[in-house]
Structure 1
């Protein structure tokens, strides 16, 4: 007889389309990043809104350029909200950025 697996779940008291915290923080997805932008540039830009715990900027293996999006992790939800507000519509290297929470409750 197989023992039933137990999983820990967080309480879900959030409304639809509200951000969801990842295991370690609040993840902000930024798209529209110029292919020639460097990781240091993105890190500095996103750090203006609060302490950035982690940044992931995917590189295209063939070209070496970034793929046009980044994931930044903040400890505090307020820092993530400030980053989204500040980066959404911001022009960086001639391209307009779009930013939002990477994880949200379904609508």
Structure 2
């Protein structure tokens, strides 16, 4: 099961995240999401656990827990939604009246 963890302290590492869940069962992966430009934590991450029952127990017990002074939110991750490649808004060019809304 894939688990979403939010409101993480910016000091939490992948290893810390794995350690939080290791008491509940085998952790397949743990990843704190970082900004692609600064490489700093974005304050959330994902944990993958192979045993769904263990994952549900971890979610129930860790949700709302305090980590480094912050109450974390732990939920089952939703599948990633497809992003559309286009922008539905018409562009506006101050040089031309033809593109006005």
TM-score under structure 1 normalisation? 0.67
Answer yes or no: is the 8 Å Cα contact 2:24–2:54 preserved in 1: yes
Question: Where does 1:63-82 land on structure 2 (aligned, <5 Å)?
Answer: 63-82=38-57
RMSD (CA atoms)? 1.5
Q: Number of residue pairs matched?
A: 79
Question: Where does 1:1-107 land on structure 2 (aligned, <5 Å)?
Answer: 26-103=1-78
Whose radius of gyration is greater, 1 or 2? 2
Counterpart-to-counterpart distance in 2, 1:43 and 1:91: 16
Counterpart-to-counterpart distance in 2, 1:63 and 1:90: 28
Answer yes or no: is the 8 Å Cα contact 2:24–2:57 preserved in 1: yes
Counterpart-to-counterpart distance in 1, 2:42 and 2:71: 15
Unaligned 5+ residue runs, structure 1?
1-25
SS in structure 2 at match of 1:70: strand
SS in structure 1 at match of 2:17: helix
Higher relative contact order (CA 8 A, sep 6+): 1
